[in-house]
């Protein structure tokens, strides 16, 4: 039969691909979202790389941590990169949640959604303070999260400051 165009928007086109998210663990909202994604990633399709990890540049020499700090980056297992809300949409689609995010990738809406994302990305620490009461997570103070990097590294609360 013919593919349903609405379903197509919600489901990853490549079910065997994994996606590595290069995220800012110092942002309370970002860290919380990564924890939620980890929780729902029952098929193990997502990988998580903290751009503030001491060994980040050695592990991912082709990813600029400064650029990844400005806008969310992710890489498929075949090497293709995606950015910003495309990462958010794809990660949630891969775990089968928040299907409404597909609307944010539609023409016209996409432009406004990306504008909103760039605003969030730039002011995420202040927004986190307002929404969570915490501006930044650090290895010393921790965060309202107990996640680990790449599902195997020690938690941020146990890592030494870099």
Cβ atoms of 40 and 97 within 8 Å: the answer is: yes
What's the order of all strands across the beta sheet hosting 81-83? 46-50, 19-23, 73-76, 81-83
Q: Between 146 and 102, whose confidence is greater?
A: 102
Banded model confidence at residue 133, pLDDT cuts 50, 70, 90: confident
Residues 58-93 have pLDDT tens digits of: 999 999 999 999 999 999 999 999 999 999 999 999
- Give the CA distances from residue 155 to residues 85, 147, 162, in Å, rounded to whole numbers and listed in that order: 26, 6, 14
Identify the pLDDT of residue 100: 85
Query: CB–CB of 159/54 below 8 Å?
Result: yes
CA distance 44 to 57: 24
Taking the model in full, what pTM does it have? 0.76
- Cβ atoms of 6 and 67 within 8 Å: the answer is no
Question: Would you state the structure tokens that stand for residue 25, as one six-digit string?
Answer: 């663990």
pLDDT of residue 62: 96
Mean pLDDT of 127-145: 78
Q: Residues 14-67: pLDDT tens digits?
A: 557 999 999 999 999 999 999 999 999 999 999 999 999 999 999 999 999 999
Rounded CA separation 144/91 (Å): 21
């Amino acid at each position: 039969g013919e593919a349903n165009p609405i379903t197509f928007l919600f489901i990853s086109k490549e079910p065997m691909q994994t996606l590595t998210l290069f995220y800012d663990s110092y942002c309370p909202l970002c860290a919380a979202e990564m924890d939620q994604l980890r929780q729902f990633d029952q098929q193990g399709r997502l990988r998580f790389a903290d751009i503030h990890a001491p060994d980040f540049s050695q592990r991912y020499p082709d990813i600029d941590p400064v650029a990844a700090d400005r806008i969310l980056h992710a890489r498929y297992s075949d090497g293709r990169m995606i950015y910003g809300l495309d990462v958010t949409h794809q990660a949630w689609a891969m775990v089968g949640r928040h299907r409404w995010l597909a609307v944010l990738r539609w023409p016209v809406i996409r432009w406004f959604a990306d504008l909103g994302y760039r605003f969030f990305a730039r002011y995420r620490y202040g927004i986190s303070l307002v929404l969570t009461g915490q501006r930044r997570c650090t290895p010393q103070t921790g965060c309202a999260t107990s996640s680990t990097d790449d599902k195997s590294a020690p938690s941020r609360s146990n890592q030494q400051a870099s």
